[in-house]
Every structure is written in structure tokens, then in C-alpha cells.
Amino acid sequence: MEKPCVLATTFGAPGAIYQCFAPVIEKHFTVIPHEEFVNNKHHFAHKISAVFVWGGALKVDRNLLQILPNLKVVVNGGVGVDHLDIPLINSFGIKVCNTPHVVDNATADIGMALMLATARNLIYGHNYSASHETEEWDLPESSMGTDVSGATLGIIGMGRIGYKVAKRASSFEMKILYHNRNRRKEEDEKAVGAVYCEKMDELLQKSDFVMVVVNLSPDTQKLIGWRELSMMKPLGTLINISRGPVVDQEALVHALQSGVIRAAALDVTYPEPLPRSHPLLTLPNVIVLPHMGSHTVGTSQLMVERMVTNALAALSGDQPTDEVKA
């Protein structure tokens, strides 16, 4: 039986699915690399029934949708689909799927890693060890970190990932506050020792570390701005593992430069990557990662497998587990 065709960026190309995961897809699909498609659209267009999007390398726009008459599903690797125009895609009768749940643990892990790294000045410590030229350690007073164990963590967005962060933080004997659109069940709160803050302002004022774990939506654009940063403790740290536009980066730069907060640790920015001249890349009290929240071998494998499962369901006429609707 002939395999269905999927359009995807060439395996191993910048921003594409890594070559090591190719067999997972090729077991079920004939892969048409986007580069080959661009050079011979008329030959491939009618064959393509699915599109795999990994990062932002492949753009699904009106022009593409109009020339793929047999396209049934667009599958995104990862949870966030803010780079996809879902109403537009749905208007062509095409389903959209993502890969939630499988990224939860890895993303919660990166949140904890960022908190620990910035609290204990790990990047500074590594650079010091690599560059010092004296025979003895002579760490300056400014190199001292802040304690994580026993500190207060404020989690903004207590969904699946936020709750997994809370579970991890409870093992560090942290006091946990959270703000969410909906309060979690009492048993969920008790399991991790979390206290609900109806007003985000209260969380900001009381937390030593503030971790942002919300979805990007019109309501969360620049959710954290100058007003919110000004409410944080002077020794407070902001950690963003959600989406870049959730934080007003100009306000964040000002807050970091003026000492309004101690530090920031970001897995996400806007744009991605930041321009080389952006001040967030030069400030000593910031850690910026290249959106590595789900960037592990195991999680990436699960994401690719989930993409295949969703695509096969859509093509067979079944309801995909992870369909995202406008």
C-alpha cells in the first residue's frame, strides 16, 4: 500500500526535525522535503495530504494552502500554535493538531534549571572557572547567589506544566503561590502546598521567584510589564518558560538595568532569536536560552511519534487526539 505524503522541512536542516527521528516518520509517510517541493510544486502539490511544522521553518499561509488540494491536516511539533493561523487553515477544511502533554516534564525541568542557574550564578561560576588566572579562588562578594530552598515561588499559570513545576519546587521545600484563571481543586493545592492568589499583584509582591507558564493569547500579551515588574521584590527573579510576547522586554531591560529586580532567566523571547545587539544578551543578570524547553532526545522522540499518530488519525477519518480548533 502506498504511503501518504507529508510535506516537511528537510530533516536535519536548520529549524527542522533532526535526522535521527526520520525513521519514525518514514515508517508511515513518504516525506516530501519543502526545498524539493518549492522547486517542483506542480509535481508534488496533489500528492501532499499532511504538513509537519517544526519550529517556524515552514510557513503555512494562504498561498501554500491554495495549492495543496488534498491537504487534510497540519501537525505542529510542540504545544504553542500562535505561529499558525488556525481560522485560515480551518477555512480550507483542514485540521490542525499539536503535541501537548509530552512536553510537560521537559518544560517544567527547564523552568527549575533556569531558577537554580540564575539563583546560584552558575553561568558566572563557569565563566570564572574557565577564565581565572590566579592560583587561588578569589570570588567577589557580588558572586554570591540566593537560596532556592525555603524561598517563595510564584507560578503564573497553573496548568499542566505549572503544576509540574509546583511538584518539583515542593521538593525544594519552597513556599508556592499561584495565580490562574481558575483555582485548582483543594486536593491539588494540598498535594504541593500551593496557595492561590486571586490577584496576580499579591503573588508578585510576595514571591522571591516568579515563573510565567501561561499560554500566549490576546489576554496574555505583555502580561508582565513595568507595573508588574515594579511590584516584585528588589531581590526577585523573573523566569519565563511560556512565550516571549508575554513579557514586555523593554520594561524588563529597564527593570534589570535599574535594579528593580535582581535577575531574569528566559527560555523564550521575541523575536527568536534576538538581534545580536539586544541588551538582554549583554546584561550580566540575565540568562537567555534558545527556546530549549522541550529540547531533549526523549521528549523530541515523543513529539514526533505524537505528530505521526495525529496525522494518521486525521487521514483515516478518525478524530485526532490533539486537534486544535479556532
Catalytic residues: 243, 272, 291
What one-character DSSP code corresponds to residue 224?
B
Task: Give the 3-state secondary structure of residue 82.
Answer: coil
What does the angle CA 83 – CA 87 – CA 90 come to, to the nearest 5 degrees? 110
Cα Rg, the chain, nearest whole Å: 22
141, with CB counted inside 10 A (0-12, 13-18, 19+), is exposed
| Cα 65 to Cα 70: distance, rounded to the nearest angstrom | 10
| Cα 247 to Cα 245: distance, rounded to the nearest angstrom | 5
Q: Which cell goes with 145?
A: 547567589
Q: Which cell goes with 302?
A: 515523543
